[in-house]
Structure 1
Amino acid sequence: MASGTAANQHSKWRTPCHQCPLRSLSTFRDFSAKELEFVAQFKSGELSAERGATILVEGMHSAHLFTLLSGWAFRYKLLPDGRRQIMNYVLPGDLVGLQGSLMEEMDHSVEALTPVTLCLFERSKLERLFERHASLAYDVTWIAAHEERILDEHLLSVGRRTALERTAYLLSFIHQRAHSVGLNGGARRVIPITQQHVADTLGLSLVHTNKTLRKLADRKLMRWHDKGCEILDEEGLLALADWEGLRDGMRPFI
C-alpha cells in the first residue's frame, strides 16, 4: 500500500471496469465478456496518490497488485548511501506489484511522478486468474516478458550508448510510450520529469546530464521546462539514438 498521507484508498471505486477509459485505446487488447466479468470481480478498489508519494517500498509485502489507471510513476532501487537508480517508468495500463505478489516481497520501490490513480487487485485472487482464465494468465506472462525486454534495452543503452545517445534514447522511449496511451496528444508534448530523474535513469551526474540536455536543446530536438521536457523532433532523437523505436502492436492489460 502507498505510504504517507498523500495516498487515499477508495472502497467504492469511481471507474467501473466496463467503463475503463483504457479499453477505448487502440494500444490495448480488449477483454471478452467473461474476462471483463472476472476482472471486475478481481478489482477491489482504487488508490489515489499525489506526486512524490511512495506506492510500493522495496522489501515490503503487499496484499495487492495494481494497474496504473492514470498518471505517471517510476520504479527505482536505492543504494545504502541513498543513491537512486530508476529502472523504468510506469504509465497507464502497466501492472505494478506483480513481483511482490509472486516473490513475497518487492525488490524495488515505486513512486508517483504525477498525481496517480491505480486499480487495486487482491493478491489472494491471482491464483484463481491462472486457474480459470488461461487468456488472462497469458496476458500476465506477456506483461512480465515485455518488462524484461524493456530492461534489456535500457541496459544496452546505459552500457554501450554515449551519454548523448542514451539521453536521446530515453526521451524517445518515454515519449513514444506516452503517445501510445494518449498522455501527450496535445500541442505540447511534455514529459513530466526533472533533470534529476534523467540522471538517475541513465547513471550520469546531474552536471553531465545538464550539459547533455543542453546539447540536445541546441540541436532543437527538445526544450527543457520547469516542469518537464518538451519533445520538438522525435525523428531526430530516434536517429541520434540509432534506435528504431517501439515495435509493439496491441498489448494486454489487466
Structure 2
Amino acid sequence: MNSASPCATCPKHDSGFCGAILGNSQTGSNDTSDWQNHFVVAAGRQALASQQATPDVYVLCHGWAFRFLQLPDGRRQILHFLLPGDLFSISLLFRDRVHFSVKALTPIQVSAMKRTEVQSKIMRNPATALPALAQSCAGQTETLEKVIAALGLCSAEERIASLFLYLMKRIADQTVIRENRYPFPLRQQDIADAVGLTAVHVSRILGTFRERGITDLSNGVLEVLNIRELQRLSPLN
C-alpha cells in the first residue's frame, strides 16, 4: 500500500461499516498499517472468485461492482450491486472462503482489511461497531428477500422497474442528481442477469419504457421521464 492511505480523504471514512471500524483509527496520510491495504481492479475483471480463500474483509471504495453466482454452463445470477462504502459481503467477517464472485462494472478501488483485526476492533468498540454491522446485515437481507420475491412473483416490467427504483435510491444517497439523470453503468446483460431475463427481453422492455416516456437508458445514464409511472410498475418499492 502507498504511504498515503485513500481512507484519509474518503467521504465514507466516518460512516457505515468503515466509520465503525476506522472511526477511532489514526488513519492519516502516513498510515502504513499492515492490517489494511488497497488495490484497484479494471472494469470487467473479477475482484474475488468463488471458493477463493481469503484472510480479508473487503469494502468497495470507488466505482461499481456486483456480487454474483455462476453455474457451470455459464449462466449467471447477480445477487447485489456494490457501491462505494459497501461490504462485499458481511459473511466474510465470519468465513474465510467465499461462495460468490465479485466483478467490477467500472474501474474500482477496494479496501482489504484483515479479518482478525476487524473482529478485534469490533470487540473493542461494540457500542459503535455492532449497530453498523446490524444495519449492513439487515440491508443485505432485505435486498435479497426482495430479489427472491421479484424473481418468483413479478412480471418482466415489474422486475426492471423495481431494480431501477432500488438503484436510483442508492445512487441518490451518494451523489447529487440533476434533471432526473442517474449514472448507470449497467449493460443490458447485467440487468438481465440481475432480474432473471434474457438480454433480448430486457432490450424489448427498455424500448417499451422509452416509447411510453418512462425511462431512457443510454450511454451509461438512466434518465427518468415519468417517475410516477415507474413507481406504479414496481410492487416492491
Mapped to 2, the partners of 1:13 and 1:107 lie a distance apart of 33
Alignment of 1:65-144 (within 5 A): 65-134=57-126, 135-144=128-137
Equivalent in the alignment of 1:37: 24
Equivalent in the alignment of 2:150: 157
Mapped to 1, the partners of 2:2 and 2:53 lie a distance apart of 21
Q: For 2:54, which of 43, 59, 62 is the aligned residue?
A: 62
- Measured against aligned partners, the alpha-carbon deviations of 1:186-238 in whole angstroms (never above 9, x if no partner) come to 45323110110111111111221111111111121111314454333333211
Q: For 1:20, which of 3, 10, 30 is the aligned residue?
A: 10
TM-score (norm 2): 0.86
Give ranges in structure 2 of 5+ residues lacking alignment. Answer: 28-32
Alignment of 1:213-224 (within 5 A): 213-224=206-217
Give ranges in structure 1 of 5+ residues lacking alignment. Answer: 1-9, 245-254
Equivalent in the alignment of 1:206: 199
Please state how far the C-alpha of 1:13 moved relative to its aligned partner. Answer: 4.4
Residue 145 of structure 1 pairs with residue 138 of structure 2: yes
Mapped to 2, the partners of 1:16 and 1:37 lie a distance apart of 13
**Contact map agreement 1:46 1:120 (CA 8 A) in 2:** yes
Sequence identity percentage:
24
Please state how far the C-alpha of 1:44 moved relative to its aligned partner. Answer: 1.4
Please state how far the C-alpha of 1:128 moved relative to its aligned partner. Answer: 0.5
Alignment of 1:233-252 (within 5 A): 233-244=226-237
**Contact map agreement 1:42 1:125 (CA 8 A) in 2:** no
Mapped to 2, the partners of 1:143 and 1:185 lie a distance apart of 24
TM-score (norm 1): 0.81
Mapped to 2, the partners of 1:35 and 1:122 lie a distance apart of 13
**Contact map agreement 2:53 2:96 (CA 8 A) in 1:** yes
- Measured against aligned partners, the alpha-carbon deviations of 1:99-141 in whole angstroms (never above 9, x if no partner) come to 2341221111111111111222111212202321112133123
**Contact map agreement 1:172 1:234 (CA 8 A) in 2:** no
| Counterpart secondary structure, 2:38 | strand
Mapped to 1, the partners of 2:120 and 2:5 lie a distance apart of 25
- Measured against aligned partners, the alpha-carbon deviations of 1:123-174 in whole angstroms (never above 9, x if no partner) come to 1212202321112133123212210111001111111111111111111111
Equivalent in the alignment of 1:4: none
In the superposition, relative to structure 1, how do residues 23 and 220 fare at CA in structure 2: closer, same or farther (>3 Å)?
farther
**Contact map agreement 1:75 1:111 (CA 8 A) in 2:** yes
AA in 1 matched with 2:7: P
Please state how far the C-alpha of 1:91 moved relative to its aligned partner. Answer: 0.6
Q: For 1:185, which of 155, 177, 180 is the aligned residue?
A: 177
In the superposition, relative to structure 1, how do residues 217 and 31 fare at CA in structure 2: closer, same or farther (>3 Å)?
same
- Measured against aligned partners, the alpha-carbon deviations of 1:58-88 in whole angstroms (never above 9, x if no partner) come to 1011121121111111010000101100011
| Counterpart secondary structure, 2:52 | coil
Mapped to 2, the partners of 1:29 and 1:64 lie a distance apart of 14
In the superposition, relative to structure 1, how do residues 68 and 31 fare at CA in structure 2: closer, same or farther (>3 Å)?
closer
| Counterpart secondary structure, 1:150 | helix
| Counterpart secondary structure, 1:12 | coil
**Contact map agreement 2:18 2:85 (CA 8 A) in 1:** no
**Contact map agreement 2:7 2:13 (CA 8 A) in 1:** no
Please state how far the C-alpha of 1:185 moved relative to its aligned partner. Answer: 2.5
Q: Give the CA RMSD over aligned residues.
A: 2.5
